[in-house]
Copies of this chain bind each other. A is one copy, B any other.
Amino acid sequence: MSQAFNNTQPIYLQILQRLCRQVVRGEIKAGEKLLSVREMALQCGVNPNTVQRVYVELERLEIAETRRGLGSFITEDEARLKRLRKQLKNEQIENFIADMAETGFSPEEILAGVREKLPDNKGRRRD
């Protein structure tokens, strides 16, 4: 791994986001064990304390449960994971549309722009 962490976003939030996305797209399944704090820290090139913060937050969100001495596990609650999927979808779309509107782009321009950049639009690409 050892990705960049370029952003101005705190690293722990970036790791949190990455884990949530891995769960939503099924790369990590319900009930599955996460890497230990120390392993994940090694893999990310980050301090264990930073990963610890991620796992605490995941537990607060009820996306993972930690069992002392055993490790952290993604929740078995599939309904919770479905909610997470919907939540991420809504948030990402709504934030995007709000950003675009604030920058002055019309709904038509937004829709056209998205269609243009989408992977398999039917030959509408321009750039």
Q: Which residues of A contact B (CB under 8 A)?
A: 8-10, 13, 21, 24-26, 88-90, 92-94, 96-97, 99-105, 107, 109-111, 113-115, 117-121, 127
Contact assessment for B117 and A114 in the assembled complex, using a CB-CB cutoff below 8 Å = no
Contact assessment for A111 and B105 in the assembled complex, using a CB-CB cutoff below 8 Å = no
Given known contacts A97-B114, A110-B118, what 8 new A-B pairs fall within 8 Å (CB)? A8-B13, A24-B104, A26-B104, A88-B103, A92-B99, A96-B96, A107-B121, A114-B114
- The one of B88, B103, B110, B119 that contacts A114, using a Cβ cutoff of 8 Å: B110
Given A21-B104, A24-B104, residue A114 in contact with residue B93 (CB < 8 A): yes
Which B residues touch A119, using CB under 8 A?
101, 107
Question: Complex Cα distance A115/B92, Å?
Answer: 14
